[in-house]
Structure 1
Amino acid sequence: MTSAHRAPGFDGEAPGEAPGAEPEQETELHSGFLTDAARWLGSLLGPAGRDTAAVRRILDIGSGPGVASCVLAQVFPQSAVVAVDRSATLLARAEDRAAERGLTERIVTRRAELPEEFGLLGPADLIWTGNVCRHLGDQQAALRSLASALQPGGMLAVAERGLPPRFLPRDIGIGKPGLQARLDAAIEERFAAGRARLPGATSVVEDWPCLLASAGLVPTGSRTFLIDFPAPLDLGARRHLHTRLRLLLDEHGEQLDLVDRLTVEQLLDRDDCTGILWRPDAFYLTAVTVHTARLCRPRA
C-alpha cells in the first residue's frame, strides 16, 4: 500500500531527502482540497449540525505522513482517527504531525499492507483512502475488504485519479515543446507495466461507482476538486516539483529520449535560471476526484 495522494509511479523515497519527503510535500499542497473534501463528506453523511457528531471512528487508509488524518480529525471533532499505512517511517511522521497539532489523543497508527487486513481494523463510520487501490492487484477485492470495515450507514470515500499534475507550459524555451505530455506518457506506461506485475493483478474497468456498488455499497456521489496554484509558485511548491522531477528522471529516464533527459536535467539544475526552482512560469494545477458510497444494510 502506498501513501495517500502520491502520483502513479512515485513509490520510492527521494534520494537525499528525508524519508517521506515527496508525499509530505505533495499532501501539504493538497491540504486545502482535503479540508474541502472532508467537509463535503460531512454534508453527505447527515444534516448540518449532526453530520460531524455522527462520525465517531475514521480509518485513513494509505495515510502516509498523516496530513489527511489530521484534517479529518479537525473536521470531525468527535472522531477517533486511525492512520493506516505499510511504512513505519511514514506512520512515525503521522504521529509527530498529530502531536504538533495537539491531536495525539485522537489519532493512532496501524501498519497494514494487504487488502485482507483492512477488514481487521475494526468498524468505522468513515473510511478515507487516497490513491491506494491502484497499487493493489485486485482493486475490487480491496474495496470489498474496505466495505467490510464499515458500520451500518458508514461511508467509504475513494480518491482515485482525477487529472495528473500540470506544472510546465507547452514550450519552456529549452528542449522540445510538449515535454509535460511526454513525461505523463512515460509515467503511465511504467505504471501500467507495474500494475500487471502486482500479486493477483486483475484487470477491471475503473468505473468507481460501479466498483463500489459491486462491493455491496450504495454510491452516494462523486465530486472533483481543483488544486490550482498559479505562477509564480512559492518555494515550498517549487521544492516539491524539483523532488518530483528528480524521482521521475530516476525512475522513468530510460523511457525518455536524449533530448528530454537533458531537458529534465537542466530543469533540476539548482543554479540555472531555467531550472524549476527559479522559473517564473512554473505553476501547479491538478484535480482529484472523490467517489463515495455507503453501507445501507446491517453488518453480517
Structure 2
Amino acid sequence: MLLAVEGLTHRYGDKTALDQFTMHLNRREIVGLLGPNGSGKSTLLRVLSTLVKPQTGRVEICGFDAGKLPEAVRSRIGVVFQTPTLDPLLTVEENLLIFGSFFGISGRALHERVRHLMQQFGILDRRTDFAKTLSGGLRRRAEIARALLHEPQLLIFDEPTSGLDPAARDDFWKAIEELREKRSTAILISTHLFDEAERCDSLILLHRGLRVAEGTPAELKATIGGQIVELVAKKPEAALETLRAKFGAAIELSDGILRVEAKDAHQMIPSLVEALPGEVLSVGLHQPTLADVFRKVTA
C-alpha cells in the first residue's frame, strides 16, 4: 500500500475542511477524487503533497509519515497542481533540468529523460521557449512532464488536463497507463471531468469534508437504480410542484432541469408530459451517468 489516510481531520478556524477522512491507494491503482468547490479536495491534496501538516489522523505515504518525514515523502511523489508552477524566466528545458537535478538525476541520464518527456508531451520543439511565453495548454504539458521526471511511486494530480486539447489529454493518459504498467505507479487524480473519472479504477466523492460515496464507476452508477428522465419546462418551479403533487418526491429540479429517477422511467414520459399540458419544451431519457451520481450525493 503506497498511501494510507486514517481519520484525517483538518480545520480552518471554525470550518471543517476534512472530517475523519480515510482512504487507501495501492500500487498500479488509479483513484479519482470528485467533489464540488469547498468539498475538501484541495485541502486533502495539500496535505498529501506535504504542503500542509496533518492536524489529526494518520497520513502515511510510501511507508513514511507525511507529517514527521515530509522530505522522504517528497522524493517519492510527483505533484501537478492546478495553478502554474513553472519558473516563467526559464526555458521549458531549463525548468525540467533544474527540477531533475533536485532529485539527484544528472548528466546524460537527465538530458535523455528530459528529452524523452518533452517529446512524449509534444513540447520538444518548444524546449528553448521561456515558460512565460507558453499558452496555458503547453505550460500544462511541461508541468506534467516535470512531475514524471524522477519516476515517482505516487502521482498526485489536481485537474491535470485542464486547458489541454483532446490530443494532449490522450498523451497524458497514455503516459499514466505506461507508468502504471512499467513502474507500478499509483495515481490520485482530482478532476471535474466525468469522462476522465470513468477511466479511474475507483472514485471517491467528497462533500463538505466527508466521503459520501466510493466505488468503481460502474458501482456508483448502479446506485441510481434506474433510468433518468429530464424535462425542460417553461416554468420549472411551477412544473416541479405539479409533478410532485402527482408523482411524489422523486422529482428533482436542478439547473432549471426537472429530473425523474425510476426503474422504468421511460414508461412515465407520457404521464409526465400530460401532467404539464403545453409546458414541456423538451424531454430526454438516459441511463445513469457519473454526473447523475455526483448530483445526487452532493445535493
TM over 0.5: same fold? no
**Normalized per residue, which structure has more strand?**
2
TM range (shorter): under 0.3
In the superposition, the TM-score normalised over structure 1's length comes to: 0.28
In the superposition, the TM-score normalised over structure 2's length comes to: 0.28
